[in-house]
Amino acid sequence: MSVKITDVSGIDIRFPTSRDHIGSDSVHVDPDYSAAYAILRTNEPGVEGHGLTFTIGRGTEVCVAAIEALKPFVAGRSLDSICADMRGFWRSLTQESQLRWIGPEKGVIHLATAAIVNAVWDLWAKAEKKPVWKLLIDLTPEQLVSCIDFQYISDVLTPEEAIAMLQEKASTKGAREQEMLRDGFPAYNTSIGWLGYSDEQVREYCREAIGNGWTHFKMKVGASNIEDDLKRASLIRGEIGSGRKLMMDANQRWSVNEAIANIRRLAQYDPWWFEEPTCPDDVLGYATIARAVAPVKLAGGEQCQNRVLFKQFLQSGAIGFCQIDSCRLGGVNEVLSVILMAAKFGVPVCPHAGGVGLCEYVQHLALFDYIAVSGSLENRLIEYVDHLHEHFLTPVRMQGGRYLPPAEPGYSIEMKPDSRERYSFPGGAVWAAA
C-alpha cells in the first residue's frame, strides 16, 4: 500500500527559555524558544512526517494558523505523487493563487511552508529508511535539481549548471561520506555568549567549552553602549586566547553607519566574521558595510526570507559567509538552491542553528553541502547551541566540537510526545502552571 497523507495538524509549542536569558540578544531580549510544529499523518499506522518552523514565543499561533491554511493542498496527496514532482509540490504551496498574496515566499506563510515541506522530507526519508542527508546525497544530480524552483534565480544559476556542479563532485562523494562518518562536521559554540548572561556566566561557559574541545565561539553584541560590547569582547578574547576563533553577532541592531563605526572599534578583538550588522533585507547596506570594514567579513542569512534575496547578497559580494536557515527559507527545496548558488559564488555555507530543533535540522544540510556540492571544509562550520535537545527522539550527537552524522531515518526533528504535550501553548502543563 502506498503512503497517503490523510491529515495535517499544527501545534503551538513553546519553551520558557527567557527565564534563564537563553537566546537573548540585542534585539530579541526575552525569547521563549518555540515551534510551529506540523505533523503529517498517513494511512499507515505510526508512519508520520514531522516538521517545525522556529519562532520565539508570541506569534507562534499565527504560524500554526498558516500551517492549517496550507492543509488542503497537502492532505489527500500520496507520498509517491509528491516525490515524483517535488518542484511542483513546492510551487503548489508557494504559488497558490490566493495565499501567495500574503507572501509571496516570505513572512508567516513561508515559515509555515517550511514546516510542511520539511515534514514531507522527513516522511520521504523515513519511507526510504535513510536520514535526510543520506537521502539527498543518494539522489542523482538530475533528481536533486528537479526539486528546485529556478524561477527568479536562473539569471545566476540554471538547472544545467546545477546538474554540472553536482556531477563534478559525484565520483568523490563516497570518500567524503566516509570522512564525515569517521570525523563528524566541525561546529562553533554560541551558548557561551548570550547577551543576557553575566560576566561570571560567560567566563564559566568559555572555560567549560574549551575543556570540551571547542575552538570556535560566537558572542552577541549590540548592547545599549558600545563600551559594554568592547568590555565583553575583551573578556571572551581573554578567556579563549588568540589561537581560537571569535565571531560577533549584532542581530540587526545598527544602522549602516553605526555598524561601520562599531565594527571598526570591535575589530581589535579579531572577529572571524561579523554577523547581521543591520537590517536583514538591506543588501546594499550590507555591501556598503562589507567594503568599509574589510578584511572583516560579514555573515548573514538567518532571517533572509528567500532564494532571491540570497541571490542578491551573493551577487553583490555583501556576505562572506552564507548562513542558511532550515525553516526561514521554504524548506529543503529552497535551501538546495541557496547552497548551489553559494558554491557558484565561492561563499562558504555556515548554517544558522540558534533555536529549538535547528541544530537537528541543519546537520543534514551541511553534510549534503560538503559531500555533494562544495567538497571543502575550508571556512565551513555549523552553529551549535546547547539547549533543548533532550526533547527530540533523535537529538544531535556532538564529539570534540563536531556534529556526528545522524543514522536514524528522517530529518531528526520529531519531538517526544510528552514534550509536545507538556510544552504546548497555552494548555500544556508547563504553561498552565506558570
Residue 289 identity (one-letter amino acid): I
Interhelix angle 226-240/199-211, nearest 10 degrees: 30
Question: Residue 233 in contact with residue 222, Cβ under 8 Å?
Answer: no
- Catalytic annotation, pick one of 50, 126, 216, 220: 220
Tell me the average pLDDT across 350-379: 98
- Strand 245-249 and strand 216-220: the pairing is parallel
Q: What is the pLDDT of residue 76?
A: 97
pLDDT tens, 3-40?
Answer: 999 999 999 999 999 999 999 988 999 999 999 999 99
Q: Bridge partners of 415?
A: 392
pLDDT tens, 151-164?
Answer: 999 999 999 999 99
33 CB burial (10 A radius; 0-12, 13-18, 19+): buried
Architecture, CATH, for domain 5-131: 2-Layer Sandwich (3.30)
Q: Is the pLDDT of residue 418 over 70?
A: yes
Contacts with 231 (C-beta within 8 Å, 6 or more apart), sequence order: none
Q: Is the pLDDT of residue 420 over 90?
A: yes
Q: Is the pLDDT of residue 433 over 90?
A: no
| Closest by CA position to 357, among listed 22, 112, 35 | 35
| Closest by CA position to 188, among listed 215, 209, 153 | 215
Give the cell for residue 90. Answer: 513546492
pLDDT tens, 249-306?
Answer: 999 999 999 999 999 999 999 999 999 999 999 999 999 999 999 999 999 999 999 9
Within 13 Å, how many C-alpha atoms sit on residue 279's CB side? 10
C-beta atoms surrounding 173 within 10 Å: 17
Tell me the C-alpha to C-alpha distance, in Å, between residue 268 and each of 5, 230, 249, 296: 55, 9, 15, 11
For the residues of 303-332, what is the DSSP string, one character each?
T--SHHHHHHHHHTT--SEE---TTTSSSH
Q: Bridge partners of 10?
A: 38
Question: Between vectors from CA 353 to CA 341 and to CA 308, what angle results, nearest 5°?
Answer: 30
Tell me the average pLDDT across 236-257: 97
Architecture, CATH, for domain 168-418: Alpha-Beta Barrel (3.20)
Question: Residue 144 in contact with residue 166, Cβ under 8 Å?
Answer: yes
pLDDT tens, 195-233?
Answer: 999 999 999 999 999 999 999 999 999 998 999 999 999
173 is catalytic: no
Tell me the C-alpha to C-alpha distance, in Å, between residue 166 and each of 13, 180, 335, 346, 379: 38, 18, 15, 15, 20
Q: What is the pLDDT of residue 434?
A: 79
| Closest by CA position to 368, among listed 180, 149, 143 | 180
- Catalytic annotation, pick one of 71, 218, 352, 391: 352
pLDDT tens, 44-82?
Answer: 999 999 999 999 999 999 999 999 999 999 999 999 999
C-beta atoms surrounding 120 within 10 Å: 27
Q: Is the pLDDT of residue 410 over 70?
A: yes
Q: Mean pLDDT over all residues of the chain?
A: 97
CA distance 397 to 419: 19
Q: What is the pLDDT of residue 191?
A: 93
pLDDT tens, 322-337?
Answer: 999 999 999 999 999 9
In the chain, what's the furthest Cα-to-Cα distance?
65
- H/E run at residue 231: helix 226-240
Q: What is the pLDDT of residue 1?
A: 55
According to DSSP H, which parts of 241-377 are helical?
Answer: 256-266, 283-293, 307-315, 332-345, 358-368
Residue 148 identity (one-letter amino acid): I
Q: What is the pLDDT of residue 116?
A: 98
Tell me the C-alpha to C-alpha distance, in Å, between residue 326 and each of 307, 329, 364: 12, 6, 10
Q: Residue ranges of the domains in the chain?
A: 5-131, 168-418
Tell me the average pLDDT across 188-194: 94
Give the cell for residue 109. Answer: 506563510
The answer to whether the bond into 141 is cis (omega within 30° of 0) is no
pLDDT tens, 39-48?
Answer: 999 999 999 9
50 is catalytic: no
Q: What is the pLDDT of residue 110?
A: 98
CA distance 368 to 314: 20
The answer to whether the bond into 31 is cis (omega within 30° of 0) is no
| Closest by CA position to 93, among listed 257, 331, 258 | 331
Rounded to two decimals, the pTM is 0.97
Question: Residue 209 in contact with residue 384, Cβ under 8 Å?
Answer: no
Q: Three-state DSSP class for 248? A: strand
Tell me the average pLDDT across 366-377: 98
Residue 174 identity (one-letter amino acid): G
Tell me the average pLDDT across 403-410: 98
